[in-house]
Amino acid sequence: MRWVRKYRFTLILAVLLVMWLAVGPQLIERLTNSPFYRDGLPTEVELSGMLYYTQEFDGVWQLDLSTGIARRWWLPPDGGLATGIAASPDQTQLAIAYAPPAEGGIQSGTTDLYLSDVAQPDLQPLLIRANRSESFRNPAWSPDGDWLYYSHLQPGPGGAGLQLQVERLALSGEADTAPEVILSAAEQPALSPDGAQVTFLKFDARTYRSGLWLSDLDGGNAVELVPSASFAALAGPRFTPEGDMVIVGGSGELQGKAAAQTGGGMVRAHGEPWNLWAVSVDEVSLSPLTPTTLDGPLIDWSPDGQHMAVLSAEGVFVVVDGQYYRLSTVTSEGAITWVDTATATD
């Protein structure tokens, strides 16, 4: 077409302008900003214990904090997938969400729950799916170690749709103890340090997003800490060691009233960014903890409650006095837990 040839140069400039408006600011930010983290720990910072973290098809890894050496702790059979992990309060056991290789080679990602000694991988089945639509995931221990809490996804009544609920299983007493349903339409539980409250994500059918909630163990006195419309997604809530805040990962820009309270939204990086946010339990207020965006960050605290470990697609980090130290690179996102090896071997 003659008009296309005539205005070809103008059209090319218009396309380049649109591309620059879409990615230019992010490109400048990446080229001009220095990394928010430092590689390795400084000599004056001494940490102990092991970080265990899942790496999907690459199994479970172990990072020795005294040496800084990361190695694979357990490699699943070809096609197996490890997603969740949590250490028992006495530091002797790991609860692991794991999907064995699927028949036909198609991995759906729905997981079973296993227990293993910390000393060496020896996965013993705890909760096994009845079918491929079912999933047990997001293990979390009660502070006394008597209960394991988890998310349970299963077909709804009559096989219609899916239902998601938080359950718990007694790990002491009779071996045939049945799981108890704690919360409906909820997932990703974490208990407060005193074991009196649980924080969790609750799906909102109106927004098709999840909000962050807090309640008693029986679901009473439920309070919505972060409305479901605040973020594109939430993940991995954990109480602080003092129990006065919940740390949670939030994806996308902060929206609505919460954004107004914090003075604006998050800085957008590539795709939907993730940040770690501290949510005050009493004041129901939010404040960011990450100096820049991360991909899928999940956290755990050191057994003494002094330091925070972070696993994201960018690596394994430990936060000391607000400074992020990257201790290892990784191949995928996952879950992380901190084990006091001195306690585990006593």
pTM: 0.85
> Can you tell me the mean pLDDT for 220-229?
92
Assess contact for 275 and 233: CB atoms under 8 A. no
Question: Does a structural domain hold residue 165?
Answer: yes
Assess contact for 204 and 191: CB atoms under 8 A. no
Residue 54 has pLDDT above 90, yes or no: yes
More confident residue, 20 or 300: 300
> Mean pLDDT of all residues in the chain?
86
108 pLDDT band, cuts 50/70/90, is confident
Residue 41 has pLDDT above 80, yes or no: yes
pLDDT per residue over 144-195, tens digit each?
A: 999 999 999 998 777 667 889 999 999 976 656 789 999 999 999 999 999 9
Question: Does a structural domain hold residue 298?
Answer: yes
Question: Does a structural domain hold residue 3?
Answer: no
Q: What whole-number distance in Å separates Cα of residue 53 and Cα of residue 231? A: 26
Please give the helix or strand (H or E) that residue 76 lies within, else none.
none
Helix, strand and coil in the chain, % to nearest 5: 15, 45, 45
Residue 115 has pLDDT above 80, yes or no: yes
Encoded amino acid at 136, one letter: F
pLDDT per residue over 302-318, tens digit each?
A: 999 999 999 999 999 99
Q: What whole-number distance in Å separates Cα of residue 28 and Cα of residue 268? A: 12
Question: Does a structural domain hold residue 117?
Answer: yes
Strands 286-288 vs 274-280: parallel, antiparallel or unpaired? antiparallel
Q: Look up the domain containing 119 and give its range.
A: 34-344
- Give me the pLDDT at residue 159, please: 67
Torsion angle, alpha carbons of 80, 164, 87, 289, to 10: 110
Q: What proportion of the chain, given as a percentage, has pLDDT over 90?
A: 64
Question: Does a structural domain hold residue 153?
Answer: yes
**Residue 235 φ/ψ region, left for φ over 0, alpha for ψ in the -120 to 50 degree band, beta for the rest:** beta
Question: Does a structural domain hold residue 25?
Answer: no
The CATH code of the domain that includes 296 is: 2.120.10.30
264 pLDDT band, cuts 50/70/90, is very low
Strands 60-64 vs 180-184: parallel, antiparallel or unpaired? unpaired
Question: How many domains does the chain fold into?
Answer: 1
- Give me the pLDDT at residue 256, please: 60
Gap between the terminal Cα atoms of the chain:
81
- Give me the pLDDT at residue 29, please: 44
Question: Does a structural domain hold residue 205?
Answer: yes
> Can you tell me the mean pLDDT for 257-279?
60
Give whichever of 1-15, 94-108, 253-267 has the largest mean pLDDT. 94-108
In sequence order, the 6+-apart residues with CB closer than 8 A to the CB of 235 are: 188, 201, 248, 249, 251, 274, 296, 298
Assess contact for 332 and 315: CB atoms under 8 A. no
Residue 84 has pLDDT above 90, yes or no: yes
More confident residue, 289 or 61: 61
Question: Does a structural domain hold residue 20?
Answer: no
Q: What whole-number distance in Å separates Cα of residue 191 and Cα of residue 246? A: 10
